[in-house]
């Protein structure tokens, strides 16, 4: 039976993530040790021990989630559980992990890309006053109209009834205050900035310059981009999509629906903490079976 693999995005991180993988798997140990060498700082200790404030920083949590996701993928592969793997996608940052799993670039190259992406987005957050809010119970077209009224943007189309909006923090809070009676719920999110909005344009532009000389290969799996929700395979198109994704809406619902339909997939592995994507999948299509895993004892034998 065809299977798919999903990779977590920013916000799923938690102190202690990956410790059991490192302690129980030689592959995990090698990859975490390599990550420290590539980065030139101690990602491993921050993941395993915190502090939470440091792990939550954009420049740290993006590499943390990338490494853990790739480690889980590598252990699944070692155990022979991915013989029917057909397709991969991820949520925002997780898209870069999916591309590494698909062989578009190797682990170390992906980590360099992720680290710079996270650093640039951190700088953009520090230079702007952005915010985000979750809108529950709204149709995409109604939320778009709502965003247009307050000069903000849709950041994530996660699943039916759950959309995230993003922009200048004062405008987001104004929108939240005006949302009563229009949606089931609209609540501010505890985030460092306005991800996937025009407030990230400085990060997008600098990342475009950074990424241009990297060598991308055609993916060995069917891959999907958050920017359109559709398949993507041309190396230059993948590079362009990663740049656009920094300021574009994340179309995860479209990603998952198309991934399942295009490839006849009904079973997925979610690699990363929090089981967030498993929750989205249940709301997107109850027939999909997703096995979430974050630590060693959650990996199927």
Question: Which residue in 92, 197, 249, 294 is the catalytic one?
Answer: 92
Beta bridge partners of 292: 270
Q: Half-sphere exposure of residue 159, counting CA atoms within 13 Å on the CB side?
A: 13
Indicate if 287 belongs to the active site.
Answer: no
C-alpha pair distances (Å), 214 with each of 122, 226, 236, 238, 285: 22, 20, 10, 12, 37
Indicate if 92 belongs to the active site.
Answer: yes
The widest CA-to-CA distance across the chain, in whole angstroms, is 54
Which helix (H) or strand (E) segment holds residue 220: the answer is none
DSSP string for residues in 181-201: TTBSEEEE---SS-TTSGGGH
Nearest residue to 278 (alpha-carbon basis) of 246, 251, 252, 245: 252
Question: Which residue in 25, 74, 166, 196 is the catalytic one?
Answer: 196
Question: Catalytic site residues?
Answer: 92, 196
């Amino acid at each position: 039976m065809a299977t798919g693999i999903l990779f977590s995005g920013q916000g799923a991180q938690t102190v202690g993530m990956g410790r059991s993988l490192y302690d129980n798997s030689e592959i995990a140990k090698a990859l975490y040790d390599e990550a420290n060498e590539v980065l030139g700082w101690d990602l491993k200790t921050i993941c395993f021990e915190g502090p939470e404030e440091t792990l939550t920083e954009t420049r740290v949590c993006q590499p943390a989630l990338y490494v853990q996701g790739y480690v889980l993928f590598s252990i699944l592969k070692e155990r022979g559980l991915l013989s029917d793997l057909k397709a991969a996608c991820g949520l925002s940052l997780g898209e870069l992990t999916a591309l590494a799993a698909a062989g578009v670039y190797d682990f170390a190259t992906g980590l360099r890309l992720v680290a710079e992406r996270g650093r640039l987005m951190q700088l953009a957050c520090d230079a702007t006053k952005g915010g985000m809010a979750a809108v529950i119970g709204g149709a995409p077209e109604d939320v778009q109209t709502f965003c247009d009224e307050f000069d903000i943007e849709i950041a994530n189309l996660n699943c039916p009834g759950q959309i995230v909006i993003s922009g200048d923090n004062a405008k987001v809070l104004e929108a939240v205050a005006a949302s009563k009676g229009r949606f089931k719920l609209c609540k501010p999110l505890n985030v460092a900035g306005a991800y996937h909005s025009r407030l990230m344009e400085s990060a997008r532009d600098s990342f475009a310059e950074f990424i241009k000389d990297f060598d991308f290969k055609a993916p060995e799996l069917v891959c999907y981009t958050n920017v359109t929700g559709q398949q993507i395979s041309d190396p230059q198109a993948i590079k362009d999509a990663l740049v656009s994704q920094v300021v574009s809406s994340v179309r995860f619902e479209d990603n998952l629906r198309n991934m399942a339909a295009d490839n006849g997939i009904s079973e997925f592995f979610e690699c990363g903490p929090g089981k967030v994507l498993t929750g989205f999948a249940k709301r997107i299509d109850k027939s999909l079976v997703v096995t979430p895993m974050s630590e060693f004892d959650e990996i199927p034998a």
